[in-house]
């Protein structure tokens, strides 16, 4: 489906580990993937992909753990 950039409100001193979770507002079954790239001390990029077409609302929650 696409990507979204996350910028931390305060940069970490070392690159943290992002943890992601998604909530999809559909009763249908979809094959999907969720991940991240381009992680730095100041943010990362979320990637979400579906097998087939999807239109609806997707909420992605994230937590980054680091120093």
pLDDT digits (tens, 9 = 90+) for 8-67: 999 999 999 999 998 887 656 678 888 999 999 999 999 988 887 777 778 899 999 987
Q: Which of 37, 29, 35 shows the shortest CA–CA distance to 49?
A: 35
Question: How confident is the model at residue 10, as a pLDDT?
Answer: 94
DSSP conformation class of 67: -
Q: Quote the pLDDT of residue 56.
A: 74
> Dihedrals φ, ψ of 34, to 5°?
-135, 130
pTM of the model: 0.80
């Amino acid at each position: 489906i696409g990507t979204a950039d996350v910028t931390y409100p305060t940069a970490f001193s070392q690159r943290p580990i992002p943890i992601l979770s998604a909530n999809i507002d559909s009763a249908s079954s979809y094959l999907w993937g969720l991940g991240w790239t381009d992680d730095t001390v100041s943010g990362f990029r979320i990637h979400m992909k579906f097998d087939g077409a999807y239109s609806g609302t997707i909420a992605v929650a994230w937590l980054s753990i680091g120093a």
